Structure 1
Amino acid sequence: MSAEPATRPRNRKQLIADAAGRVFNERGYHGASMEEIGARVGITAAAVYRHFPNKYALFAQCANNMVDRLLEALDGLPPDADLARRLAAITRVTVDHRETGGVYRWEARYLDRADREVLRGKFGDVVGRVTESVRREHPWPDADLRAAAALGAIGSITRHRTSIAQRRVEGLLLDAARRVASTDPSEALGGRAVDLPAQPPPRTRRGEILAAAVPLFHRDGFATVTMGRIAEAVGLAPSAIYRHYPGKGDILTAACLQAVALLNQAVDRSLDGVEEAEAAVRSLAAVYVAFSFEHTALTSVAEAELVGLPVDVQRPLLLAQREHITVWAQQLRSARPELDARAARVLVHAGFGVVVEAGRRLRWDNTQRNRDAVTRLVLSALGVDAPE
């Protein structure tokens, strides 16, 4: 008797898109291959091409999938749904798709302009609906900023792999988002002055190359910037740049290492002489926000482009990131003893998500007012009171 022919799943196109979302999330747009995406579904790359004409078309769908799901969830609510219901719907969808939902956040810059504008419009619709509820229920300033920050707290779950029960993480993120949305960011924020280490001036040719490359990586994406463009920005012949860096990846590695070193210095300074746990969390929040606003290009490149590095180069950088998270989590658990290690890590990442989305909303305009506002929102996400 001959074997019964395998039947093609009716939802194969969606299975491919879901697998692609995970690969893009893990490796970035340029690091992903159609072969690996197909392998995740158990098919060949040729079979993937039957559903998507090229990698860009597949990527564009993945970049839109999360925001489309968010809009569908919001559409399913009554028009007058309160803030809690809207945030709960968004949280549920985001946690359900945490392995694929982060593509739009960093990788969407690889979309062409028209597709990027469509995606931005959709996300603007989500923020607008949340803003409407925030403004109605908590009518103090900056409702749009608080809405974006609340969504940043929720969306943070797509950027890390902390293992935690779904219902529990939904509760943690929803509570954090509701606290952020109900916070008045215009209230005065006391505390210690932030003492940031200065980015070293480019005194050597290697330093000049790094200083020129980071803004290019930030604006155009690592994969699209050539060594020739970097050389031109420094005033070198393209061949001369290789005397200082063997390849473009080495420049990116140097940028990531510089970001880690500067942030570690800033954290050490922020905690020097601070003994009370809540004060330590406040200092960490203030310095992280200040650092993000002061070194926006450097931190964005280090965060967004890490997946483009070889695994052996990623490892020490990821270890440094985890150590940084551990410092935060330990201080947060001291301030809030009811939290266990996993819950604390989830909330720390939520605080980082607040910084990303609030910073973008403020166009990273580095004023003290903006830094104070975002710091207050971060503390709300963490569940730690701001100083009187």
Structure 2
Amino acid sequence: MTAEPAAAVRPRNRKQLIVEAGATVFSERGYHAASMEEIAAAVGITAAALYRHFPNKYALFAECANVMVDRLVAALGEVPPDAGLADVLAAVTRVTVAHRAAGGVYRWEARYLNREDRRVLRAKFAQVVGRVADVVRREYPLPDEHLRAVAALGAIGSITMHHNTIARRRAETLLQASALRVVATDPVAARAGARLVELPARPVPRTRRSEILAAAIPLFERDGFAAVTNGMIAEAVGSVPSALYRYFPGKADILAAACLQAAGLLAQAVDHNLRGVTGPHDALAVLTATYVAYSFEHNALTSVADAEIIGLPAGLRRPLVAAQREHIAVWEQHLRQARPELDGRQARVLVHAGFGVVVEAGRRLRWQDSPEHRAAVAALLMSALDL
């Protein structure tokens, strides 16, 4: 006689498993593209069972948004108060690399969390930044310790924003060293050696299609991609919603077209500014100045793109990813020439770390564009690359 199979036992940590799976799915698919059914399947339960723990997708997302920062707060709580900067950054790096698949959720927090949930989350991040900044101030008494702290955390957190494969220990070593170099950089002293670069002028909207692109991005940045309607875009260009379909099949196509246009401007700027440059170090200085200038001038679009591209349909996302890879390949080539001890994976991870520095430092500076801010962020990026 065959024994009856034992009844399935509900794991005691089911809610934790749901949050882990949800954070990963949200990171990989984006808030709006992710579904409760998809998350439930990742846990091996039904959607009905998932709803017993979370009444809706927002409630689950709000909890997922806190996963990484709660881990960071807990990890730093275990580091002795008098520990050195290397130990503090090592704790942050271990947690971030170990949970990189779920760490990208924070990129959407400002857009999709309500005001109170956003306030709570930002207070937790401020606690992490404050702990790092305190040690930075003690060990490297230079100006703008909070700027250097958030830039270093941006270098570490960059591992959550891409899918380049690299062994965990190698990633930790690279990112911790990068962050340590960033916090040791004097952003004020960097102003004297700032490099000037040129960017192509923003296209002047001369057609209805270009007018739509120019009007849509500020709306996406202000209200969030999902909240903006075709009616809002049409009103901004003095048209009716149905007229938009003559130029774009849908709202996602507008975002993709704007991102491709911006990628083209960046590629033009890189090609122009690299002309006549000899030597990998000079080339990387030019790439850095160009990327920082581009990030300040196009911060509205880049902030929207960082949050929304991941949720675009594959057909629209593919050319954008290809353009990004082409840009990173230029960095990788010059970085490996400047630092021949790096292999391709290490170089790409460091390039993304530099981009993470720009994002977080730019946010800290509220993207207020000035030669001083550009020079400071460029110096921090160069330090992240060990140049």
Q: Can you list the C-alpha shifts for 1:303-361, whole angstroms capped at 9, x where unaligned?
A: 22111211122112111111111110111000011111110001000000000000000
Structure-2 separation of matches of 1:291 and 1:13: 42
Structure-1 separation of matches of 2:159 and 2:185: 21
Tell me how far 1:192 sits from its aligned partner. 4.2
Q: Which residue of 2 aligns with 1:331?
A: 334
Residues 85, 136 of structure 2: 8 Å contact kept = yes
Aligned length: 384
> Displaced runs of 4+ in structure 1, greater than 6 A?
none
Tell me how far 1:128 sits from its aligned partner. 0.8
Q: Does 1:206 align with 2:209?
A: yes
Tell me how far 1:107 sits from its aligned partner. 4.4
- Aligned amino acid, residue 60 of structure 2: L
**Please, what TM-score do these two structures have when normalized by structure 2?**
0.97
- Aligned amino acid, residue 289 of structure 1: V
**CA spacing shift, 1:189–1:265, aligned 2, 3 Å:** farther
Tell me how far 1:378 sits from its aligned partner. 0.1
Q: Can you list the C-alpha shifts for 1:61-90, whole angstroms capped at 9, x where unaligned?
A: 110110011000111111222211111100
Residues 231, 241 of structure 1: 8 Å contact kept = yes
Q: Which residue of 2 aligns with 1:37?
A: 39
Structure-2 separation of matches of 1:77 and 1:24: 30
- Aligned amino acid, residue 147 of structure 1: A
Q: Which residue of 1 aligns with 2:113?
A: 111
Q: Does 1:74 align with 2:80?
A: no
Candidates 271, 276, 279, aligned match of 2:274: 271
- Aligned amino acid, residue 7 of structure 1: V
Q: Does 1:255 align with 2:258?
A: yes
| Equivalences for residues 1-388 of structure 1 within 5 A | 1-187=3-189, 188-190=191-193, 192-384=195-387
Tell me how far 1:190 sits from its aligned partner. 2.5
SS at match of 1:145: helix
Structure-2 separation of matches of 1:220 and 1:126: 28
Residues 29, 107 of structure 1: 8 Å contact kept = no
Identity %: 67
Q: Which shows bigger deviation, 182-191 or 144-153?
A: 182-191
Structure-1 separation of matches of 2:379 and 2:263: 24
- Aligned amino acid, residue 266 of structure 2: L
Residues 296, 369 of structure 2: 8 Å contact kept = yes
Structure-2 separation of matches of 1:377 and 1:226: 38
Tell me how far 1:161 sits from its aligned partner. 1.0
Q: Can you list the C-alpha shifts for 1:136-174, whole angstroms capped at 9, x where unaligned?
A: 111110100000000000000000111111111000000
- Aligned amino acid, residue 314 of structure 1: R
- Aligned amino acid, residue 199 of structure 1: R
* Alpha-carbon RMSD: 1.1
- Aligned amino acid, residue 96 of structure 2: T
**CA spacing shift, 1:270–1:193, aligned 2, 3 Å:** same
